[in-house]
Chain A
Amino acid sequence: MEWSAFFLQQIINAIFLGSIYSLIALGYTMVYGIIELINFAHGELFTAGAFIGVIVLTALQQAGFVETHFILTMIIVFVLSMAYVAVLGVAVEHVAYRPLRTSSRLSALLSALGMSIFLSNGMMLSQGVSDRPYPQVFGLEGIEFMGARISNGQIFIILLSFALMIGLQLFVHRTRLGKAMRATAQNKTMARILGIDIDQTIRITFMIGPALGAAAGVMVGLQYGAVRFDMGFIFMIKAFAAAILGGIGSIPGAVLGGMIIGTIEVMWAAFLPSAWKDVTTFTVLILVLYLKPAGLLGESDAEARV
Chain B
Amino acid sequence: MKRVGIVFLCVALILGFQGFAMAKTLKIGTLSPLTGPYAQDGTDILQGVKTAVAVYGPVKGYDSVEVIPGDSACDGGKATMAANKLINSGVNVVVGAYCSSATEPAQIPLMEAKVVQITPASTNERLTAKGYEYFFRMPPRDDVQAWSTVQFLEKKLKAKTMALVDDKQTYTAGLTENITKFAKEKNLVKIVAHEYITPGDSDFTAVLTKLKRIDPDVVYMGVYQPEGSKMIQQARKLGMRSTFLSEDAVFHPKFLEVGGPSAEGVYLTFAQAPDTPERRDFIKTYKQMWNAKAVGSYAYYAYDAGMMALAAIVKAGTTDADSLQKVIRGNTWPGVSGDISFDAKGDRKIAHIVWVVKDGQFVPFWDPLTGKDL
Contacts and interface: CB of A to CB of B under 8 A. Distances in A.
State whether these chains interact: yes
Contacts of B36: 230
B201 A234 contact: yes
Contacts of A266: 205-206
A127 B106 CA distance: 30
Nearest to B232: A225
Contacts of B237: 140, 142, 149, 151, 153
Q: Which of A10, A225, A267: most chain B CB closer than 10 A?
A: A225
A224 interface: yes
A275 B206 CA distance: 12
Interface string B225-262: 11001100110111100000000000000100111111
Q: Which of B201, B202, B210, B234: most chain A CB closer than 10 A?
A: B202
A111 interface: no
A6 B258 contact: no
Contacts of B201: 234
Interface in A151-197: 151, 153
B209 A270 contact: yes
B209 A226 contact: no
A224 B202 CA distance: 7
A82 to B, nearest CB: 20
B209 A228 contact: no
A277 B210 CA distance: 14
Contacts of B130: none
B206 A10 contact: yes
Chain B interface mostly helix, strand, loop or mixed? helix
A274 B39 contact: no
Given A130-B254, A131-B254, A133-B257, A140 B203 contact: no
A36 interface: no
For chain A, the bracket of interface size reads: 35 or more
A267 B206 CA distance: 7
Nearest to A231: B202
A199 B173 CA distance: 52
Contacts of A275: 168, 196
Contact of A274 (B196, B225, B229, B239): B196
A10 B210 CA distance: 9
Nearest to B215: A1
Contacts of B225: 131
Contacts of A73: none
A17 B198 contact: no
Interface in A1-59: 1, 3, 6, 9-10, 13-14, 16-17
Given A225-B258, A231-B202, A278-B198, A10 B209 contact: yes
A269 B37 contact: no
A61 interface: no
23 contacts: A1-B212, A10-B209, A13-B209, A124-B35, A129-B39, A130-B254, A131-B226, A133-B257, A140-B236, A144-B239, A149-B237, A224-B202, A225-B233, A228-B37, A230-B200, A231-B200, A235-B202, A269-B206, A270-B210, A274-B206, A274-B207, A275-B196, A277-B206
Interface of B: 35-37, 39-40, 43, 168, 195-198, 200-203, 205-207, 209-210, 212-213, 215, 225-226, 229-230, 233-234, 236-239, 254, 257-262
